[in-house]
Amino acid sequence: ESSRKPLLSLRNINMTFGGVKALKNVSFEVMPGEVHCLAGENGSGKSTLIKIVTGVYRPEPGAVIDYDGQTYSHMSPVTAQAAGIQVIWQDLALFPEMSVAENIAFQTVLGRWPRFVSYGRMREIAARALARLGVSLNVDRPLKEYAIAQRQIVAIARALIGDAKLIFMDEPTASLTQSETDHLLEIVRTLSASGVAVVFVSHRLAEVLDISDRLTVLRDGALVGVYPATGMTQSRITELMTGKTFDHQ
Ligand code: ADP
Ligand code: MG
């Protein structure tokens, strides 16, 4: 296993916003199929890092993005998606008035097939993507009839049909109940078991320890370190995130 090559390897990532150094020479690596948590306090640069990998922001010159056998100096959203990098944004970027089937298949329809695709075909695509997640929803119902937790699953299903190899989830459990969170974590495990790598951001450290294989800690835009989740504790992660040492006794 240790001889396996990373799916994603970032080096030398710098990003400045009007004098604020959001990322300082950060490196970051994700193995194929692993669940990798990005931990850090508010403002530590987690979302900025995700936006660089998914092509929303262009890092400063000198950046190296090795992904799936190719080297890039920056990504664009189109390049990232075509390469199987997907992101579940907090606002989910879905269409509430459209059916579940249309929400899941829409991007594929736009991206892959130049001509009209039947609703029946969209239903098939949507049902297959949901089945891969072990979820059944009525794909004909408008998305707005579903709660946030189900909408999130729809967003993940949509990401999957684009042949995702790497899915970023930025604080996906922030507005979920405990049982919805448990369900989402189960889906993350299913994704990982099927070979899809997941980069997961959460403030809930119990969740981070529960779900991750490894974690990368950022503090004030700088890399603190990369750690296996095994043997890690919540208080240790907090120490790494804040740079403050607690009295353990
Ligand atoms: P996190 O996701 O870890 O909370 P962010 O990546 O959102 O952190 O932000 C890192 C730093 O960059 C913060 O100081 C934030 O205020 C700043 N920042 C992020 N995005 C922008 C932006 N679009 N314009 C200006 N500053 C930004
Ligand atoms: Mg953020």
Per the CB < 8 A criterion, the answer to whether 153 and 186 are in contact is: no
CA–centroid distance, 72 to ligand 1, in Å, is 23
pLDDT given at position 104: 83
Ligand 1 pocket test: pick from 14, 16, 17 the residue with the most ligand atoms within 8 Å of its Cβ: 17
pLDDT given at position 242: 96
CA–centroid distance, 124 to ligand 2, in Å, is 34
pLDDT given at position 116: 62
Could you read off the pLDDT of 5-29 as tens digits, one per residue? Answer: 999 999 999 999 999 999 999 999 9
Per the CB < 8 A criterion, the answer to whether 196 and 164 are in contact is: yes
pLDDT given at position 109: 45
CA–centroid distance, 25 to ligand 1, in Å, is 16
pTM: 0.90
Q: Which atom of ligand 1 is nearest to the CA of 38?
A: 3
Pocket of ligand 1 (CB under 6 A): 17-18, 20, 22, 40, 42-48
The CA distance from 101 to 126, in Å, is: 5
CA–centroid distance, 104 to ligand 1, in Å, is 30
Ligand 1 pocket test: pick from 14, 16, 47 the residue with the most ligand atoms within 8 Å of its Cβ: 47
Is the pLDDT at 216 greater than 80? The verdict is yes
List, as one string, the DSSP characters of the chain.
-TTPPPSEEEEEEEEEETTEEEEEEEEEEE-TT-EEEEE--TTSSHHHHHHHHTTSSPPPTT-EEEETTEEESS--HHHHHHTTEEEE-TTTT--TTSBHHHHHHHHHHHHT-SS---HHHHHHHHHHHHHHTT----TTSBGGGS-HHHHHHHHHHHHHHTT-SEEEEESTTTT--HHHHHHHHHHHHHHHHTT-EEEEE-S-HHHHHHH-SEEEEEETTEEEEEEESTT--HHHHHHHHH-PPP---
Q: Which atom of ligand 1 is nearest to the CA of 170?
A: 2
Q: Domain 1-84+165-172+196-249: give its CATH superfamily.
A: P-loop containing nucleotide triphosphate hydrolases (3.40.50.300)
The CA distance from 216 to 218, in Å, is: 7
Could you read off the pLDDT of 153-204 as tens digits, one per residue? Answer: 888 888 888 789 999 999 988 888 898 899 999 999 999 999 999 999 999 9
pLDDT given at position 112: 52
The CA distance from 208 to 198, in Å, is: 12
The CA distance from 247 to 249, in Å, is: 6
Could you read off the pLDDT of 66-120 as tens digits, one per residue? Answer: 999 999 999 998 899 899 999 987 666 777 778 888 888 876 544 554 456 788 8
ipTM, two decimals: 0.98
Per the CB < 8 A criterion, the answer to whether 219 and 241 are in contact is: yes
In terms of pLDDT, which residue wins out, 110 or 228?
228
> For 121-139, b where at least 16 C-beta lie within 10 A, e where not — what string?
ebbebbbebbebbebebeb
Could you read off the pLDDT of 38-62 as tens digits, one per residue? Answer: 999 999 999 999 999 999 999 999 9
